[in-house]
Structure 1
Amino acid sequence: MTKNVVLYPGLGVGHLTPMVELAKLFVRHGVAVTVALVEPPVKAPNFSATVARAAASNPTITFHVLPPPPPEPSGATSTTSSDDGTPKSHVLQMFDYLGAMSAPLRDFLRSLPAVDALVIDMFCVDALDVAAELRLPVYYFYASGAGDLAVLLNIPSVRAGMKTSFTELGDAVLSFPGAPPFKASDLPAETSKDREASKAILRMFQRMPESDGILINTFESLETRAVRALRDGLCVPNRATPPVYCIGPLVSGGGEKEHECLRWLDAQPDRSVVFLTFGSLGTFPKKQLEEIAVGLEKSEQRFLWVVRSPRSDDQNFNELLPEPDLEALLPDGFLERTKDRGLVLRSWAPQVDVLGHRATGAFVTHCGWNSTLEGITAGLPLLCWPLYAEQRMNKVFIVEEMKLGVEMRGYDKEMVVAEEVETKIKWVMVSEDGRALRERVLAVKDRAAEALKEGGSSYAAFIEFLKDLELRLPKDSEGRSLSGNN
C-alpha cells in the first residue's frame, strides 16, 4: 500500500526549495507527498510566485497552504514584541509564529485520510509535539550540511557549561567532533548571545534528537568526518543520536531558457565568466558595491553580477526591496567601461541555469547551503563571502575541510576591498593553483552524481530510511503494514 508523508518546510523560500526537491525524491520512490506550507506573516510576493511555480512544475505533489494561526488571546504574549514593548528579533518572531502554526498543522493532519510520517524543517521544533500527539513518526530534513549539524547539535551542552558567551570568546579557536578547528565568531550570531533568540536556537537543537531520524541534504563522501561523528554519537553528549541519512545533493534542476543573461553567456568562451550572487537575502551598502565594481574592472575577467538594492537597518528581511538604481550605486562609467566583458543584473538571476552554463567558470557565493551544493554539482570553484546565519561555518568547511573554495578576506571586517576582489578572481581564473582547485571541484561533481545513482551512497541511504519508516508503521495481527491509516 502506498505510503503517505507530509512535508512541513516552515518559513522562507530558501527552506521551501530543497523541501520541494525532497518531495520529488519521495515521489520517485512511490511515496505520496503533501507539502504543508506556512504563508509568511508579512505578505511576500515571492512566496506566492514560488508556490505557484512549484505546483505547476510538480503536478504529482500536493501543495496546501495552511490557514493563519488563530488570533492571540487578550493578554497573551505578542509574537512581534516583548513584554516591555520592544520589538522581538526576526528569529524570535519566526519561532513564535511557527509555534502558533501548530494548531492549523494539527487540524490539517487530522483532516487527511492517511498520514504515515511528518518530515519537518529544522525551525519547526513545535511540530514535534504535534507529531507526538497524533502518534506519527517525525523526521527532520536538515537542509544545510552535516558539518553544521555536527557542531550545532553539540552547542546546547557546550553552552550550558560555559560561564561566558561565544561572543565574548571572539576569535578563540573551538574544537568540535566532526569539524576542523574554527573561531567562535564563525558560529551563527544567534547561538552566541545571551538573549531570547539564542535560547530558542539552543532549544531547537536540543530537541532535534527527539525525532525518529534526520535526513541531511549532503552526500557522504563530501563530509566524511562529520557524518562519521554523527553516526558514532559524538555530537549529542549523554543522549542517543537518531539515525542520520545523507540523501543529497538535492538541488533544483533549473529550466529557465529565455533570460537575457543566458543569451549573453551563450556568446562567452567556455569557463570564462565569474558569477557573483549572494542569495535571496544578501545585500550590500553602496560603498561595498563600489569596491566590488572596482575589483571586477581591474581583474579584467568576464563577469555576471547580480546587484540588489541596499537594505536599511530598520527593514524587515521579508520586505521586498525596490529595483536597484545601478547608475547611482556603481562607480561613474563602470557599466559603460565593462559592457564588453561584463553584465550586471538587477535583483535576480536564474542561478541554477547560470551555474550549469558552459561559460561559467567560478562562483562568488554567500555560502548558503543551497548555493554551495548548486556550485559543487556544477563543478565550479567557490569564492566564499559569508554573510549571516551558518554561512561562516559553511565557509570553514568549504575551505578547510572540502578544499573546494577560497575565502574572500575582509568579509568579517565589514569590507572586502577592491584589491581582494581583483586578486582572488584572477587567482581562481588564471593561476596554476586556481586550475588545481577547479580540477578538485570537477572530481567532487562526479562523486555527487554517483551518490544519487542507483547503488550510490545517497540512493542507498534513502532506501534505508524508507525501510526504517516501514518498521515504525502500525502492523495488523499478521505483521502486515497498515500504511495509509491514521
Structure 2
Amino acid sequence: MCKAMMNIWKRNTETMGILLNTAELLESRAVQSPRGPLCVPERILLLIYCVGPSDGKGTKDEGRAKRNECLEWLDALPDRSIVFLCSVSKGALSAEQLKEIAVGMERSGQRFLWSVRTPAGSDSPEKHLKVGPEPDLGVLLPQGFLERTKWRGLVVKSWAPQMDVLSHRATGVVLTHCGWNSVLEAIVARVPMLCLPLEAEQKMNKVSMTEDIGVAMELEGYMRGFIKEDEVEAKVRLVIEGEEGRQLRARVAARREEAEAALEEGGPSLVAFAQFPLDVDSLGKQLGE
C-alpha cells in the first residue's frame, strides 16, 4: 500500500493542474501552497481550479420511496437543538469509546441523533463482543441508556442520511471525524462541528477547521486516543448552550455565505469551472503541436 501511494503521489506531481471541490476563500492557505516552490521541489503547479463546494444534493437518494424515520423524528424538535453524532464507513470507534460517549451525552442533557456502527473488528480491544455487521445496541451502549434517553435521543444502526440530517433545521452541531467532504457539507448546511479525528488526513483537517476556518471545536482527548465522558458533556453543552457555540454558528454562517458567493454567476468557483475546459483545450493543442 505504501509503495502504491508513493507512486500515486509521484504521478500527482506530474499533473498540469488540480480540480478541487472547494472555494478558495475557505482554504486559501492550502490552495496557495501548491503554487509555491516548497510543495514540489523544482516544480510549481500553476493551474488550480477551485470549483466548489458542492451543496451535497447529489449525495441524496432521490429514488428512496420513504423518507427516513430519523427525519420524521427531527421534524418535531426545536431549531438547532440536537447533536448529530455521525458514523463513518471506516475507522469505527471501539466499544469502550462508544460507551464513554454515551455517558457523556446522557449527562449533557442535550437532544441527540446518533448513528452507531459496529466497533472496529480485529483491532478492537473488545474482541470478545459478538457483534455482527449490524450493531447490537444493547451490548455496545451502557445498560439502560436507550430507555433513559428515549425522550430526547434517537440511536440508529449504522446509517443515517447525512446531508439530509445536516440540512435539517433541528441540527445544532455535528460530531465528525473530519473527513473533508463531511466538513464541506456541514459548512454548506451552516452546522458547527465537534472534531474527533481518527486517521489519515483527519488530524490535519482538524487544524484547518479549528484554526484557519474557525468553524469547529476539538475534543482534545483524541490526542491521547480516548475521549472521556466529562469532555463530551462539557463540549456538547458549550456548543449548544454557550457563547462559544453562538460564535461558532456565526462563523459557519459567514463561511456558508462565502461559499454561496463563490458559486453565484460571476463568482470565482464558476469562473474557474468555465476556465478549466478552455485550458484543457489549449494544452491539448500545445501538446499536439
TM-score by length of 2: 0.90
- Relative to structure 1, the CA distance from residue 232 to residue 285 in structure 2 (aligned partners, 3 Å threshold; closer, same or farther) is closer
Q: Following TM superposition, by how much is the alpha carbon of 1:221 offset from its aligned partner in structure 2, in angstroms?
A: 0.5
Stretches of structure 1 lacking an aligned partner (at least 5 in a row):
1-91, 93-196, 316-320, 480-486
Equivalent-residue separation in structure 2 for 1:200 and 1:242 (angstroms): 26
Stretches of structure 2 lacking an aligned partner (at least 5 in a row):
125-131
Query: Is the Cα–Cα contact under 8 Å of residues 193 and 217 in structure 2 kept in the other structure?
Result: yes
Matched, 1:411 2:222: yes
Matched, 1:295 2:99: no
Letter paired with 2:257: D
Q: Following TM superposition, by how much is the alpha carbon of 1:206 offset from its aligned partner in structure 2, in angstroms?
A: 2.7
Tell me which residue corresponds to 1:387: 198
- Relative to structure 1, the CA distance from residue 283 to residue 314 in structure 2 (aligned partners, 3 Å threshold; closer, same or farther) is closer
Tell me which residue corresponds to 1:343: 154
Query: Is the Cα–Cα contact under 8 Å of residues 211 and 242 in structure 1 kept in the other structure?
Result: no
Tell me which residue corresponds to 1:106: none
What percentage of aligned pairs have identical amino acids?
A: 52
Query: Is the Cα–Cα contact under 8 Å of residues 366 and 384 in structure 1 kept in the other structure?
Result: yes
Matched, 1:458 2:269: yes
- Relative to structure 1, the CA distance from residue 234 to residue 395 in structure 2 (aligned partners, 3 Å threshold; closer, same or farther) is same
Matched, 1:399 2:203: no
Query: Is the Cα–Cα contact under 8 Å of residues 34 and 44 in structure 2 kept in the other structure?
Result: no
Query: Is the Cα–Cα contact under 8 Å of residues 87 and 117 in structure 2 kept in the other structure?
Result: no
- Relative to structure 1, the CA distance from residue 386 to residue 278 in structure 2 (aligned partners, 3 Å threshold; closer, same or farther) is farther
Equivalent-residue separation in structure 1 for 2:27 and 2:140 (angstroms): 39
Tell me which residue corresponds to 1:482: none
Matches within 5 A, 1:30-49: none
Tell me which residue corresponds to 1:322: 133
Match among 185, 188, 200 for residue 374 of structure 1: 185
Q: Give the aligned length.
A: 277
Matches within 5 A, 1:98-109: none
Equivalent-residue separation in structure 2 for 1:407 and 1:271 (angstroms): 19
Kindly report the root-mean-square deviation, in angstroms, between the aligned alpha carbons of the 2 structures: 2.1
Query: Is the Cα–Cα contact under 8 Å of residues 177 and 195 in structure 2 kept in the other structure?
Result: yes
Q: Following TM superposition, by how much is the alpha carbon of 1:278 offset from its aligned partner in structure 2, in angstroms?
A: 3.1
Tell me which residue corresponds to 1:235: 39
Matches within 5 A, 1:106-255: 197=2, 199-253=3-57, 254=60, 255=62
Equivalent-residue separation in structure 1 for 2:11 and 2:138 (angstroms): 49
State the structure with more CA Rg: 1
Q: Following TM superposition, by how much is the alpha carbon of 1:251 offset from its aligned partner in structure 2, in angstroms?
A: 4.4
Q: What SS is found at the alignment partner of 1:371?
A: helix
Q: Deviations over 1:215-266 (max 9, x none)?
A: 1121111011222232344422212325111111124212566101000000
Query: Is the Cα–Cα contact under 8 Å of residues 209 and 240 in structure 1 kept in the other structure?
Result: no
Q: What SS is found at the alignment partner of 2:168?
A: coil
Equivalent-residue separation in structure 2 for 1:306 and 1:271 (angstroms): 18
Query: Is the Cα–Cα contact under 8 Å of residues 78 and 170 in structure 2 kept in the other structure?
Result: yes
TM-score by length of 1: 0.55
Tell me which residue corresponds to 2:88: 279
Question: Structure 1 runs of 4+ off > 4 angstroms?
Answer: none
Farther-moved stretch of structure 1 (277-286 vs 251-260) = 251-260
Q: Deviations over 1:20-44 (max 9, x none)?
A: xxxxxxxxxxxxxxxxxxxxxxxxx
Query: Is the Cα–Cα contact under 8 Å of residues 80 and 171 in structure 2 kept in the other structure?
Result: yes
Q: What SS is found at the alignment partner of 2:199?
A: coil
Higher relative contact order (CA 8 A, sep 6+): 2
Query: Is the Cα–Cα contact under 8 Å of residues 286 and 329 in structure 1 kept in the other structure?
Result: yes
Letter paired with 1:301: Q
Q: Following TM superposition, by how much is the alpha carbon of 1:450 offset from its aligned partner in structure 2, in angstroms?
A: 1.5
Match among 233, 253, 257 for residue 446 of structure 1: 257
Q: What SS is found at the alignment partner of 2:25?
A: helix
Equivalent-residue separation in structure 2 for 1:234 and 1:218 (angstroms): 22
